[in-house]
Amino acid sequence: MSEKQFEGKAAIVTGGTRGIGKAIVLELARRGCNVAFNYSKSANEAEALMADVEKLGVRAIAEQCDVASTEAAAAFVGTVKEAFGTVDYLVNNAGITRDQLILRMKEEDWDAVIDTNLKGAWNFSKAAIRPMMRNENGGSILNISSISGVVGMLGQSNYSASKAGMIGLTKSLAKEIASKKVTVNALALGLIETDMASEMNDEYREKILAMIPLGRLGNVAEVAEITCFMLSPAAAYITGQVIQPDGGLAM
């Protein structure tokens, strides 16, 4: 791997200020990529991350943006294209949970999760595809899905539906734009060490670990490494695929 394998390229990472998104932003920057990311409420974290990215010698854009808004997504992508001159990569990472059994789940909890996780990915993909199609070497879209979208999870009818929808979006879109040299893939992530995972009580954590053949949770650095591979020229012949970094949980 070239140390600056993405030099001169530009990426958009939605939900980039924390956890998995932040790790992806920083790894892309380390590899020479200019990176734009949005945030919902974490303005201070976004400002700090932008400074960290710029210290790595690349350019950064951070803006508040509601991914569920088609107009806001289009405006964000337009800003990136104007600033960086290109949009080469899109990582649809923004996501929320509102877990509850369906009989107790409120309609607004269903709508919020579907709008953020699934519609958000559709909005940004729709906006980013056109500039990617104009690139000589096309581009790459990576959707951050979950094993919840592969096998379903108790109390996550909204989240599982949104992540399964992202997988369907991945496969359909991959067929639509393959002729334009734009690849579309997804990561169906297992349990990753994030703030959310750290809130699990010890008993539940041990129960989950017993279900994972590799015996541990994944970490955000691993997800960032896989993301960079999937966006790189080394993965140029891979499209419409769902990769499961889950320690064997959903075999």
Active-site positions read 159
Q: Torsions phi, psi of 107, nearest 5?
A: -55, -40
Cα–Cα separations (whole angstroms), residue 35 to 78, 83, 152, 242: 14, 11, 33, 24
Tokens for 56, please give them: 């790595």
Cα(101)–Cα(170) distance, integer angstroms: 27
Task: With both helix axes pointing from N to C terminus, report the angle between 19-30 and 220-231 in degrees, rounded to the nearest 10.
Answer: 50
Q: Where are the beta strands (DSSP E) in the chain?
A: 10-13, 34-39, 60-64, 89-92, 139-146, 182-189, 192-193, 218-219, 242-243
By the 8 A CB rule, do 124 and 67 touch?
A: yes
Tokens for 111, please give them: 């709508």
The DSSP secondary structure of 3-72, one letter per residue, reads TTTTTT-EEEETT-SSHHHHHHHHHHHHTT-EEEEEESS-HHHHHHHHHHHHHTTS-EEEEE--TT-HHH
